[in-house]
Amino acid sequence: MIASGFCHFTHSYISEKPVKVSKLAEHVHYIYLKTSSYESNGGLGRARNMLDFMNKVIKYEGIIARRYGKPDVVTGCSVHPLSWIAAYRTARKYKARFVAEVRDFWPRIWVVSGDKKAMDPMVIFFGLIQRWAFKHADRIIYSMFHGDKYICGELGIPRGRVYLIGQPMDCSRFDENCEKTELLPKEVQEFIRDSFVCSFAGYYMVYEGVYVMLEALKILESKGLPIKMVFVGSGQEKEGMEKYIRENHLHNALVYDRIPKEAVPALLSRSHICMAHLEVEGHKEVYKYGVSKNKVNEYLYSGACTLYGFLYKDDEAAVSGGGIMFEPYDAEDLAEKIAYVYNLPEAERRQYGVRGREYIKANHSVEVLTDRMLEVLFG
């Protein structure tokens, strides 16, 4: 696994070394290449970082191959599309299979979200790279639920080379961490004790629906329903959320900081509802083909009922039977759905969790996706 040594989220270096090797298992190594830094995720610095990563892979792939063995398959993951070029060159050098893995549909998302115009040079450039990569890839892997509708339907790539492999879920690890209630902060433990709990774990951003959820709680409190909402995470809207709670005199909301990842299962498994939301307001086409969202998988597996504010109703949350969709940015609809779940008989409510867990085990567990990945890479 070859990655940049510069972290996209913290804007800091994992290691200052030109090449950092981290051994995870006997035949599993992470190799971090020091690339140029950047401060803005959308600026020229990010573009330089992408180019630098591609060049560093090409520079060091020979050394890596001599030390760890020549590859049989080289996969380029489109955290950014230039990784495809590096992967293709490496694959062809060693006569290996080239696999293009797609995590985001660049540059489509830029255009439909309104960030860039269709004739923007960056859009044209990345569009050409995308078509080139898909044309030359022996296999194409996508993680968005309906990604094939774009790759095959709009771009015309033959379906025989296109495979869905969703986000993996380590179900055994999640189950183990469910019991670690001691990892939950005391304030969170006290807040959720003996209560009907709706949980949110993630980024405090407008498109994540945090204000929609608080507004729904305001409606529920006005009706006298004893329902609590707990938020754990981080993001630029935290202060705004706390201000909303104060100004609207909400008594059943807790906005907390990010908690350790190992503690999240303990919270979700003690919740009755897990809430998610995703839509860029005014740009409904952005997530037309689905989205890779680990959080929703964890919600579905938690045993709670998942409520998901997403425009497209054929998402896995609904298809699985483990969740209920609500209209994005519609607090009244969310409040109505929460009240519906709250009023269900306990046995009926638990069935959402049962169906969600069964679906994740069958479609997203590490064991299932490992077998699927091996078939795609080497079959």
- Walk me through the domains of the chain, giving residue ranges and CATH numbers: 2-168+367-378 (3.40.50.2000), 171-363 (3.40.50.2000)
157 in Cβ contact with 149 (< 8 Å): no
3-state helix, strand, coil in the chain (%, to 5): 45, 20, 35
CB atoms within 10 A of CB 108: 21
CB 349 within 8 A of CB 114: no
Task: Quick: pLDDT tens for 264-282.
Answer: 999 999 999 999 999 988 8
Residues 6+ apart with CB under 8 A from 224: none
C-alpha distances (whole Å) from 172 to each of 21, 176, 262 are: 27, 6, 12
pLDDT value for 265: 98
Given a cut of 80, is residue 1 above it in pLDDT? Answer: yes
Write down the mean pLDDT value for the chain.
Answer: 95
Residue 205, classed as helix, strand or coil, is: coil
CA 162 to chain centre: 20
Place of tokens 């907390």: 256
Is pLDDT above 90 for 75? yes
Q: Do you know the residue count of the chain?
A: 379
Cα separation, 81 vs 51, in Å, equals 10
User: Using 50, 70 and 90 to split pLDDT, how confident is the model at 258?
Assistant: very high
What is the C-alpha to C-alpha distance for residues 23 and 21, in angstroms, rounded to an integer?
Answer: 6
Both tokens of 293, joined, read 């969202």
pTM beyond 0.95: the answer is no
pLDDT category at 222 given cuts 50, 70, 90 is: very high
pLDDT, mean of residues 230-240: 96
Left, alpha or beta for 290 (phi > 0: left; psi -120 to 50: alpha)? left
Residue 105 confidence class, pLDDT cut points 50, 70, 90: confident
pLDDT band of residue 9 (cuts 50, 70, 90) is confident
Query: Quick one: which H or E segment has residue 306?
Result: strand 305-309
Please tell me the distance from the alpha carbon of residue 107 to that of residue 114, in angstroms, as a whole number: 11
Closest CA to 87 of 78, 76, 95, 101: 76
Q: Sort strands 323-326 and 305-309 into parallel, antiparallel or unpaired.
A: parallel
Strand order across the beta sheet in which 323-326 lies: 253-256, 227-234, 196-203, 273-277, 305-309, 323-326
